[in-house]
Amino acid sequence: MKYVDEYRDADAARRYADALAGLVTRPWTIMEICGGQTHAIVKFGVDALLPPAITLVHGPGCPVCVTPVELIDKAVEIAGRPEVIFCSYGDMLRVPGTDKDLFTVKAGGGDVRIVYAPLDALALARRHPDRQVVFFAVGFETTAPAHALAVARARALGVENFSLLVSHVLVPPAMAALLSAPGQRVDGFLAAGHVCTVMGTGEYAPLAERFRVPIVITGFEPLDLLQGITMTVRQLEEGRAAVENQYARAVRPAGNPAARRLIAEVFRVVPRKWRGIGEIPESGLGLRAEFARFDAERRFGAAAYTAEESSECISGRILRGAGKPPDCPAFGARCTPEHPLGATMVSAEGACAAYYRYRR
């Protein structure tokens, strides 16, 4: 297939649904680990095509959504400083902190700007040598190469008024944490295809072997998802637990070696707190010592912030696959994209935003 509409063919989707109905013999719970997959499932009704025995749950597949409250508070504090130009992807501006979000800082006169790439922020730093330019580096392994490139280029060019507020998280450790949690109910995973285009498939084999769960690296279109679910269920029914690659048109076993080298040059693996999950060892990226002068937390003395999640928002349960957006009493009422209680309602990849848009 070459064109998007071929991956959305209704007749082919029904054939997959029929095949699944003939394949499944007992209940199975499968978690997708990417917010883009969540939106496709909800938008195209992929879950509605499945036999009742197959349950899809949504995992922590949205890096905006898993950014903890205290990091938003750090961003708000830094962005409010008069000497700072604070740059971010657009989704992050409405993610609530303890008292306010970045959009509120902007409305109050803070110089908060939406950019589309970290190199845009670096260009701003070069044009404004009298200002401190901070880029909010949020993402999974997918965006890490671009953020690493910006820092490496800043060092090479001698741009000292540029820094990153780093909130990078890594997918495999989060999967391990979910599988290790008491009462976990995930039988198999649809792994994020875009992460694997960078990192390859090697990190998933130890997880599949240790926890005896199938992991199928899957794309983002309806037929990708239905094929990935079929591959996962087939493994479960046959008693296998292996890593399989549905997204072979984009993912290679070694990923993108050049991108991986750049990540390793600039970043090191660190513990990272995930919203709704807590701290997971070796689940994030931080700047290496030789790039420490580009670390905004160090530059602005913002490393010691702590904060608590909203008690009303159930985004933590949703990110752990323990609930779905309609389970929340605030969903669509006190919590909307215009007035979100949690990050899963804000992000373009958030599960609550998907349900609000397509299934209210």
Cα distance between residue 285 and residue 272, in whole Å: 8
Structurally, how many domains does the chain consist of? 2
Is 309 inside a domain boundary? no
Tell me, yes or no, whether 215 and 335 share the same domain: no
Res. 143 pLDDT band, cuts 50 70 90? very high
Residue 35 has pLDDT above 80, yes or no: yes
What pLDDT sits at residue 348? 79
What pLDDT sits at residue 355? 94
What pLDDT sits at residue 6? 87
Cα distance between residue 9 and residue 223, in whole Å: 8
Cα distance between residue 90 and residue 103, in whole Å: 10
Tell me, yes or no, whether 337 and 283 share the same domain: no
The parent domain of residue 323 ranges over 315-358
Is 122 inside a domain boundary? yes
List 132's β-bridge partners, or say none. Answer: 84
- pLDDT tens per residue across span 286-334: 999 999 999 999 999 876 666 666 678 888 889 999 899 999 999 999 9
- pLDDT tens per residue across span 19-34: 999 999 999 999 999 9
Residue 115 has pLDDT above 80, yes or no: yes
Tell me, yes or no, whether 215 and 340 share the same domain: no
Is 310 inside a domain boundary? no
Is 308 inside a domain boundary? no
Tell me, yes or no, whether 57 and 147 share the same domain: yes
Mean per-residue pLDDT, 261-283? 94
Tell me, yes or no, whether 282 and 319 share the same domain: no
Q: Look at residues 155, 245, 166 and name the one whose alpha carbon lies nearest to residue 199.
A: 245
Tell me, yes or no, whether 339 and 259 share the same domain: no
List 113's β-bridge partners, or say none. Answer: 87
Mean per-residue pLDDT, 119-126? 98
Tell me, yes or no, whether 227 and 354 share the same domain: no
Res. 43 pLDDT band, cuts 50 70 90? very high
What pLDDT sits at residue 309? 67
Percentage, residues of the chain above pLDDT 70: 97
Alpha-carbon torsion angle 99, 101, 107, 109, nearest 10: 80
What pLDDT sits at residue 342? 85
Residues 6+ apart with CB under 8 A from 176: 207, 210, 211
Cα distance between residue 147 and residue 92, in whole Å: 16
Tell me, yes or no, whether 272 and 325 share the same domain: no
What pLDDT sits at residue 349? 86
Tell me, yes or no, whether 343 and 258 share the same domain: no
- pLDDT tens per residue across span 94-105: 998 988 999 999
Is 163 inside a domain boundary? yes
Is 82 inside a domain boundary? yes
pTM of the model: 0.93
Is 181 inside a domain boundary? yes
Specify the CATH number for the domain of residue 242.
Answer: 3.40.50.11740
Tell me, yes or no, whether 293 and 321 share the same domain: no
Tell me, yes or no, whether 334 and 292 share the same domain: no
Is 333 inside a domain boundary? yes
Tell me, yes or no, whether 258 and 332 share the same domain: no
Mean per-residue pLDDT, 179-197? 94
